[in-house]
Amino acid sequence: MKSKIIKNLKELLPYIVILLIVILIRTFIATPIKVNGSSMYKTLDGSEFMILNKLAKIERFDIIVLDTNDDELIKRVYGLPGEKIAIENNNIYVNDKKIEDIYATGETSDYECITLKDDEYFVLGDNRKISLDSRTIGPIKKNQIKGTTNFIIYPFNRFGILEKNK
């Protein structure tokens, strides 16, 4: 009886190991996410499934997923910790230098100059008319960011990496 149990456990062991590895990867490294809404239009249309990278270093123009009290939002990073951010006349200024904003659709409303704290990011949706972003909810704390995403897995005609222009 005992040897039969051991034999069955040995047969199940590879499946248990695979299951544990999948759980660890999804918990700590990467997981699929669904894009909802059109705040990132034209880059994303709101129907994509993407891979969320939980380990990536966050850089300017990265697309991130952030957790608010009510929802998960997908936005683009414009301001990094410690930087000064201002928006005037549809122009974005980082540390008093105008940056080229090739992602925006629609007008970007003015935002008074602020200096981000060591754990804060300034994020905007690409579709500026309808996006709920840092212009409305303020800077985003590092602990609100679930990770970065730039790899579309569905729809298949868009499968692949989204290029980031710097």
6 pLDDT tier (thresholds 50, 70, 90): confident
Active site residues: 39, 75
Q: Could you give all domains of the chain from N- to C-terminal order, each with its CATH number?
A: 2-161 (2.10.109.10)
What predicted TM-score, i.e. pTM, was given to this entire model? 0.87
Residue 5: count other Cβ atoms within 10 Å of its Cβ.
9
Whether pLDDT at 60 is above 80: yes
68 pLDDT tier (thresholds 50, 70, 90): confident
pLDDT at 165: 61
Counting residues of the chain whose pLDDT is more than 70, the rounded percentage is 98
Distance CA 137, CA 130 (A): 13
CA 82 distance to own-chain centroid? 20
Distance CA 120, CA 138 (A): 9
